[in-house]
Amino acid sequence: MPEGDTVFRTAQRLNEALAGKVVERFDIRVPGSATADLRGETIHEVVPRGKHLLERIGGYTLHSHLKMEGAWHVYRRGSSWRAPSFKARAIVGTSDVDTVGFDLAMVEVLPTSEEDRIVGHLGPDPLAEDWDPAEAARRLSADARAVHVALLDQRNVAGFGNEFVNEILFVRGILPTTPATETDAAAVMDLGARMIRANVGRRGRTFTGDARPGRSTWVYGRDGKACRRCGTIVRTGSLGAGPTSERNVFWCPVCQT
C-alpha cells in the first residue's frame, strides 16, 4: 500500500533517473492536462510531499498521487513495460529512460509557482527536511475526532496511511476510537516519525523488527489472530471521517485501552 515511505522512495528513484536531463517524451493521458507538452524542458528535480509526487520541469510541475494502486516505473528507452499500456497515465522520457506512471490519481500539470494550491493544505511531513514535530503534535491534539481518523488526515500530518496508523496506535497502547485530544500527541508523532524513517529504506515494511512474511506487523491485517504481546485475539472494525473514507482498523482489546 503506497504511504509516505513508498512515495519518498519513488521520488528518489525518479530523481536519480531524470534530474538534470531534457524531456524528449511527454504524454499525459488524463483530461485537463492531456494537451500539455513539456518536451525540450529540463527536469530540475522530483520531490515528495506527504503522499504527493512533484516533478518540477522547466517552470511547471507534474503532480501525481499513487492512491491505492499507483506506481511509477523506470525503463531503459525502448524496453518493454511491465504493466499494460492502458493503465499508463503519464510518461516522461529522456534520451535514455522512460518513466511511466500507472494507475495514478490526481495527475495534472501546473505552474510550479502554484504548487501551494495542491499541497499547501498538508501538515508537517516526517520525511521532509522541514519536519516540525511540535506543529504536527499541535494539530493532532486539537482534533477531537477518533485518533485513528485524525492521524489519517493529511492536514494534521502528511504521509501516514492506514498500515502505519494501526501500528503506531498499537505500539503506543491507544484504542483507535480514543479522541486525539486525549492522547499524548507529541509521543504519538515521535513514534510515527521514527517508524516511517526506519522503513523508508526497506523494500518491505516491518514494524516488529521481523521482516519474514506474516511477521512484520503487530496488528495490521491480523484480525482473528493472537496478539503477539498478550495472546488476546486481535479485533477489526472500520473508522473514517465519512462513509466513503472508512478504513479497516485493527487493535488488541487488552494492549490498547
Phi first, then psi: what are they for 234, rounded to 5°? -70, 135
The three-state DSSP-derived secondary structure of the chain is CCCHHHHHHHHHHHHHHHCCCECCEEEECCCCCCCCCCCCCEEEEEEEECCEEEEEECCEEEEEECCCCCEEEEEECCCCCCCCHHHEEEEEECCCEEEEEECCEEEEEEEHHHCHHHHCCCCCCCCCCCCCHHHHHHHHHCCCCEHHHHHHCCCCCCCCCHHHHHHHHHHHCCCCCCEHHHCCHHHHHHHHHHHHHHHCCCCCCCCCCCCCCCCCCCCCCCCCCECCCCCCECEEEEECCCHHHCEEEEECCCCCC
Q: What is the CB-side half-sphere exposure of residue 89 using CA atoms within 13 A?
A: 22
Q: Which three cell numbers stand for residue 105?
A: 490519481
Q: Which of 2, 24, 135, 138 is catalytic?
A: 2
Which domains, from first to last, does the chain contain? Answer: 4-120 (3.20.190.10), 133-251 (1.10.8.50)
Active-site residue 247, yes or no?
yes
> pLDDT 10s digit of each residue in the chain, 257 long?
689 999 999 999 999 999 999 999 999 999 999 999 999 999 999 999 999 999 999 999 999 999 989 999 999 999 999 999 999 999 999 999 999 999 998 999 999 999 999 999 999 999 999 999 999 999 999 999 999 999 999 999 999 999 999 999 999 999 999 999 999 999 999 999 999 999 998 878 999 999 999 999 999 999 999 999 999 999 999 999 888 889 999 999 999 99
Residue of 65, 64, 47, 255 lying closest to 166 (CA atoms): 255
What's the confidence (pLDDT) of residue 110?
97
Q: Which of 9, 49, 51, 139 is catalytic?
A: 51
| Reported pTM | 0.93
Active-site residue 3, yes or no?
yes
What's the confidence (pLDDT) of residue 1?
64
